[in-house]
Amino acid sequence: MGQHGDQVVATDSGRVRGRLEGEAAAYRGIPYAASPVGALRFAPPRPCPPWPGIREAVQAGPAAPQAPSRLEAVMGTRTPDWDEDGCLTLNVWAPAAAREDGRPRPVLVWFHGGGFSSGSGGWDWYDGGRLAARGDLVVVTANYRLGPLGYLHLPEIGADNLGCRDQAAALRWVRDNIAAFGGDPGTVTVGGQSAGAFSALALATDPATAGLVHRVLLQSGPWSLPPQDPARATEHARAYLGLLGVPEDHTDPGAALRALPAGQLIDAYGTLARQLAGGVAPPMYPVLGGAGTALAFPDALAAGALDGKPLLIGTTRDEMTAFLGLDPAIRSLTRDGAVDLLARQAPGDGEAERLYARYADRLPDATPGRIVIAVQTDEQFRAGALEIADRHATAGHPAYVYEFDYAAPGADNPLGACHCAELPFLFGTFDAFRGSPMLGRPDAAARALGDAFADAVAGFVTTGVPHGIAAYEPGTPGSVRHFAPSPADGGDPR
């Protein structure tokens, strides 16, 4: 088959036809499970029924039902594209020659973030074609059920970490089918960003899926967030049913929920989120002890669940600006107001004052609001990432740590290197993020930074060793690789 040969691949459910896009072959919208509609709403993912003939795989499937992301003001807006019917799909990008030369490529299976409430693996933000071609690897992104359709905790109707079950089903699909696309099912990196990183670590450590994962990429995971307590998840489920007019003593709550339009379920979830506002956790997310979440991460790591798997983990420099940096109340904080806020997490006598002073010494030019954001960045993201890396490296397993330091140009930019800032650099999708406040207008140095970050990740997926990142040494800040643009136009990033 030549460069312009027919891009038809046989999967377990039928044949799909992709297309060449530059130096990669793209296959979009491939079902990995049956549509979760009708009787399958709130059911574990079921095998996709076979289809006749050849299915055209040139368009991504619809997103799972969701409300707009709370980070639209940071990342940019999306036109709603969700549909419950047909949402359990995945997308594959492979180097153009991958099916021809008989050399299986390593695979990156990557899950999007969005607080377990929004996002889609089919969005152009996460187009894997450039990364696949540049790194000579196969990239897979997948949708999974979100919000109440993915994480409502009602085991009596089958609703038990369904989003986790979807992700596991996608990973099994990769095991069974990726060789036909030129991928190596024996060299699979599972990765993701934010909620996707939380999910990736769960997949890598849960006994049901750990054997399918060989390397782990964790970007900006919310590591301060433990899996949801079952009792709390049950409380939220009951409150949610009440908002929908389904009484606790209903004889068949599953039937009542399946009879409602998906949009109504999403609207009620938004109402519940507003009622519970004040915490960092979404109302519904993976529940401890449920499918795919057998143990909290510290317990799983202590039990050796990640042993032997190379780990690449990192954060952005200013994670929490995405959540707090545009808030007028935070931007106008006085020193006393900042100390009062910090007292909620450092309640001991004088602890908040000492915490503030420690960060003020480290960040002498920071406003009180930025000091609060720096504390929260460490608390919610960085401390947990370093703890995971410390555990892994101390136990003698390969660990690599990065910090992503790109901030959109402009002295008045309140976002800095915020949560999600690295995404267009990893995938090379700057055009898809055009107009995004967190990106601004990337120059040649920013694009060179993207090449360096993508090369690091590709090296890790391919060999287990990221290009340009030294092995992490616990307690040694110098072993953390900082990705920042070089001041020289187009020069090598630091």
CATH no. for residue 144? 3.40.50.1820
From CA 200, how far away is CA 191, in angstroms rounded?
5
Do 426 and 454 contact (CB within 8 A), yes or no?
yes
C-alpha torsion 476→477→480→482, nearest 10:
-160
pLDDT for the residue numbered 477: 87
- Based on its alpha-carbon atoms, the radius of gyration of the chain, rounded to whole angstroms, reads 22
Query: Is the residue at 78 inside a domain?
Result: yes
State the catalytic residues. Answer: 194, 319, 419
Q: Residue 217: phi, psi to the nearest 5?
A: -115, 120
Query: Is the residue at 438 inside a domain?
Result: yes
Provide the residue range defining the domain that includes 449: 315-483
pLDDT for the residue numbered 475: 87
pLDDT beneath 70: ranges in the chain: 1-5, 278-279, 411, 487-494
Q: What phi-psi label fits residue 158: left (phi over 0), alpha (psi between -120 and 50 degrees) or beta?
A: left
pLDDT for the residue numbered 60: 98
Q: Are residues 366 and 279 in the same domain?
A: no
pLDDT for the residue numbered 491: 40
Residue closest to 141 by CA, chosen among 111, 168, 171: 111
Last residue of a domain, one of 309, 338, 368: 309
Q: Are residues 368 and 322 in the same domain?
A: yes
Please count the structural domains in the chain: 2
pLDDT for the residue numbered 5: 63
Query: Is the residue at 490 inside a domain?
Result: no
Residue closest to 192 by CA, chosen among 493, 486, 465, 457: 457
pLDDT for the residue numbered 410: 78
Q: Is 156 helix (H, G, I), strand (E, B) or coil?
A: helix
Question: What pTM was estimated for this model as a whole?
Answer: 0.96
Query: Is the residue at 491 inside a domain?
Result: no
pLDDT for the residue numbered 347: 81
Give Cα separations from 39 to 35, 135, 145, 173 (angstroms).
10, 42, 15, 22
Do 75 and 433 contact (CB within 8 A), yes or no?
yes
- What residue spans of 348-419 are helical by DSSP H? 351-362, 368-377, 383-394
pLDDT for the residue numbered 487: 61
pLDDT for the residue numbered 427: 99
pLDDT for the residue numbered 411: 63
Q: Are residues 335 and 243 in the same domain?
A: no
pLDDT for the residue numbered 1: 39
Q: Over the chain, what is the mean pLDDT? A: 95
